[in-house]
């Protein structure tokens, strides 16, 4: 990763570390308890493991539930229930490839090297996918659909967070659904940003700015 890309990512990490420092121990406690009961291992790589706990804390703050940090909830209660970490798909993924999608949990015999390999595959889906811009707006639509869950990767909220870290505000965003627009409204509230929405010609466009 280039230095120019790493700096905003580290700034976001430090911001979240300050915001959720009290939640990290709580996340660690249930993660390790659950893994022990299932005979799973927990990602031993400090930076990634810390980020995963921060993302879980951010999900709880945004959505009110501890959803998987890799996928944005859809608003459908039955579908979203399956995304609560550890998600309903984790065991199948661990049985098939050795680790769950977000690399938080894995088979009991996984090594740090195995987790590093798993993380590389995950980053190829999120960090290595270029952002799409249309007329100066971040267009979050049309991403790859992950077959097991039927959800886009990377989803709108991940793309927006990445763009905010790299570009800052103001940021115009095109989203595909009403739910995604509402999630951005909640993100704006949490980060003390302004939020405006324009629905024209069947396109949902959100503008995030400084207050």
Contact 23, 61 (CB under 8 A): no
Could you read off the pLDDT of 80-136 as tens digits, one per residue?
A: 999 999 999 999 999 999 999 999 999 999 999 999 999 999 998 888 899 999 999
Tell me the torsion sign for CA atoms 160, 163, 164, 170. negative
Q: Tell me the whole-structure pTM to 2 decimals.
A: 0.92
CA of 50: how far to CAs of 56, 62, 81, 166, in Å? 10, 18, 24, 21
Could you read off the pLDDT of 53-73 as tens digits, one per residue?
A: 999 999 999 999 999 999 999
Q: Is the pLDDT of residue 6 over 80?
A: no
Give rounded-to-5 percent helix, strand, coil for the chain.
Answer: 50, 20, 35
Residue 52 in tokens: 């995963």
End-to-end CA distance of the chain: 32
Q: Which domains does the chain have, with CATH numbers?
A: 3-126 (3.90.460.10), 133-210 (3.30.110.40)
């Amino acid at each position: 990763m280039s230095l120019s890309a790493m700096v905003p990512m580290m700034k976001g990490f430090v911001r979240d570390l300050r915001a959720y420092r009290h939640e990290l121990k709580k996340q660690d406690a249930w993660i390790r308890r659950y893994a022990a009961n299932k005979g799973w291992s927990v990602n031993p790589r400090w930076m990634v493991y810390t980020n995963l706990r921060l993302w879980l804390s951010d999900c709880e703050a945004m959505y009110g539930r501890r959803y998987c940090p890799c996928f944005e909830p859809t608003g459908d209660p039955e579908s979203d229930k399956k995304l609560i970490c550890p998600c309903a798909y984790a065991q199948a993924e661990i049985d098939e490839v050795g680790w769950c999608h977000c690399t938080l949990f894995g088979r009991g015999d996984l090594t740090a090297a195995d987790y590093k390999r798993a993380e590389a595959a995950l980053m190829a889906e999120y960090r290595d996918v270029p952002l799409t811009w249309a007329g100066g707006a971040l267009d979050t639509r049309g991403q790859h659909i992950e077959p097991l869950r039927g959800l886009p990767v990377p989803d709108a909220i991940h793309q927006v967070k990445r763009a905010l870290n790299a570009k800052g505000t103001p940021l115009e965003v095109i989203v595909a659904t009403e739910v995604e627009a509402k999630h951005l409204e909640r993100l704006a509230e949490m980060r003390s940003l302004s939020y405006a929405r324009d629905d024209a010609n069947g396109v949902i466009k959100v503008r995030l700015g400084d207050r």
